[in-house]
């Protein structure tokens, strides 16, 4: 199991750090609250996602993060990670 987890972590890191380029027609940000088990107790986490829409009409998930709450800083971090830090600019 630990080898599988290691491979999945590497693939996830690869996906999260992949370069994105070009401009997009729109950027859709959303979040969904989910209850998860951590340390033997359940707690609410917010899964935030950034989806872009290309000028050709295609959509792509740029970023997906799980965290506690939906603060302004977490939204700014999602925007930075999904666009400017990976070469994307212009909406």
What is the tally of helices (H) and strands (E) in the chain?
Answer: 2, 3
pLDDT digits (tens, 9 = 90+) for 23-73: 778 888 888 888 888 888 998 888 888 888 878 888 888 888 777 666 777
Residue 76 to residue 48: CA distance in whole angstroms: 11
pLDDT of residue 68: 64
pTM: 0.66
CA distance 48 to 39: 22
Q: Is residue 91 part of a domain?
A: no
Per-residue DSSP letter, 82: H
Number of structural domains found in the chain: 1
Domain that holds residue 52: 2-86
pLDDT of residue 43: 87
């Amino acid at each position: 199991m630990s080898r599988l987890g290691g491979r999945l972590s590497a693939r996830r890191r690869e996906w999260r750090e992949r370069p994105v380029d070009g401009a997009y027609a729109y950027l859709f940000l959303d979040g969904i609250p989910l209850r998860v088990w951590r340390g033997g107790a359940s707690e609410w986490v917010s899964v935030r996602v950034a989806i872009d829409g290309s000028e050709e009409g295609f959509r792509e998930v740029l970023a997906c993060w799980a965290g506690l709450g939906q603060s302004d800083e977490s939204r700014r971090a999602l925007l930075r990670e999904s666009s400017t830090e990976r070469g994307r600019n212009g909406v």
